[in-house]
Structure 1
Amino acid sequence: MQAEIIKTEVEKELLNMEENQDALLYYQLLEFRHEIMLSYMKSKEIEDLM
């Protein structure tokens, strides 16, 4: 999935960048929203099976 590839690239870049509290907070928010989206999609797949 394209989103997972981009997420991996961003994680690699975060390791190499200087500490920036705003950037880290923003990334944490994006990561949280990504996890919510994935769990929503998985629950929809389960509902479709029933």
Structure 2
Amino acid sequence: MAAERLRAIGKGETELLNECSDGVKCTAGQHQLNRRTEFKIVKVNPVMAMN
């Protein structure tokens, strides 16, 4: 896969999955939920099967 096909966007604390932002007491598991990597497939190029 060519590097130019990938793009990383750091969202920091702008898109939390829960209420665990800085200064909020949460469990380690709750904080872990926000430390994630997400991939979005924006275009799929079909590949023909070869018989």
Normalising by structure 1, report the TM-score. Answer: 0.35
Identify, as 1 or 2, the structure richer in helix. 1
Normalising by structure 2, report the TM-score. Answer: 0.34
Greater RCO structure (CA 8 Å; 6+ sep): 2
Q: Quick check: which has more Rg, 1 or 2?
A: 2
